[in-house]
Structure 1
């Protein structure tokens, strides 16, 4: 069962910048998020993902995040997540203090977090074989990358209800 999640979604220009990188990887024959065709797949920043998120947490998350929208997220370098033969490639996100505090407050409300430590990132590719890693990094370095992303929505994903909706907008 997929995780429940609270995520920040991006404005059209920011989303297009990330999707261009997904597509560049795909065109080079490297696994990317462009390969994932689910309705839930769009560039995003996960604030909390868990086996279950109590729906009562959602209005509290809206109260914490809505006043911050839209928010500009500065991107750091590329990061590699995971271990073993398959790696995730992502942009590191450097949130401002207000978003970091709001996220910490939301995460404190969710006892079943998938990852207890928050590593803010925007995923570009999952399950990339280590043997393709150098090629993937070459493609990404040759593809224009956004320096910032504008988050303008808070999205709620509940796979048990097959529900994905924007619960706050800028």
Structure 2
């Protein structure tokens, strides 16, 4: 599977990494414990089977809209197959438009059943993951808000990338004018 993710500006990236570290130090599940060199704070916009050339061309156009200011709104918890703790993002019209463009790009050339339905517009909950685990209820700890650093005030999504979950490869999805020639 391939994901399409938006990366955070440097200052916001550091605050998220600080949150990861604080959770780990408190003995809670944290992305700080994820040893992969590809592990970095990001916003997952979509997931699909593969990134075909038509999808890449569309995503290059979407990437040209970055940087994009976004706003954290607070702590969010999900209990899906895994327990997830994250910082929610305000789904304003600009972020919704970016997400819809990414979704339409991956949906335009993906076989049925290869898209993650949780990323579908109307179902998608934009968030930056702070921790995840298979243990149900792992983030019920009432100390969590006190453990986390203050939310960043000014945040920008700065780039699009794709992550290949099978090979671990990362690919920066650059606007055509900035990409390799």
- The alignment's TM-score, normalised by the length of structure 2, stands at 0.78
Residue pairs, 1:1-170, within 5 angstroms: 3-67=1-65, 69-83=66-80, 86-109=82-105, 110=107, 111=110, 112-114=114-116, 115=118, 116=120, 117-127=123-133, 129-130=135-136, 132-135=138-141, 137-145=142-150, 146-160=152-166, 162-168=168-174
Matches of 1:106 and 1:90, distance apart in 2:
21
Segments of structure 1 that go 5 or more residues without pairing to the other structure are none
Deviation at 1:149, TM superposition (A): 2.4
Deviation at 1:153, TM superposition (A): 1.0
Deviation at 1:93, TM superposition (A): 0.9
Matches of 2:83 and 2:168, distance apart in 1:
28
Report which of the two has the higher share of strand. 1
Q: 1:26 to 1:98 in 2, by over 3 A?
A: same
Is the CA contact (8 Å cut-off) linking 2:85 and 2:130 kept in structure 1?
A: yes
Deviation at 1:156, TM superposition (A): 1.7
- Matched position secondary structure for 2:59: helix
Deviation at 1:71, TM superposition (A): 1.4
Matches of 1:19 and 1:76, distance apart in 2:
17
- Matched position secondary structure for 1:37: coil
The RMSD of aligned alpha carbons is: 2.4
Matches of 1:128 and 1:77, distance apart in 2:
22
Deviation at 1:160, TM superposition (A): 4.8
Is the CA contact (8 Å cut-off) linking 1:107 and 1:113 kept in structure 2?
A: no
- Matched position secondary structure for 1:72: strand
Matches of 1:132 and 1:47, distance apart in 2:
25
Matches of 1:131 and 1:159, distance apart in 2:
26
Deviation at 1:118, TM superposition (A): 1.6
Matches of 2:16 and 2:8, distance apart in 1:
10
Query: Which structure 1 residue ranges, 4+ long, deviate > 4 Å from structure 2?
Result: none
Aligned residues: 165
Q: 1:40 to 1:100 in 2, by over 3 A?
A: same
Deviation at 1:39, TM superposition (A): 2.5
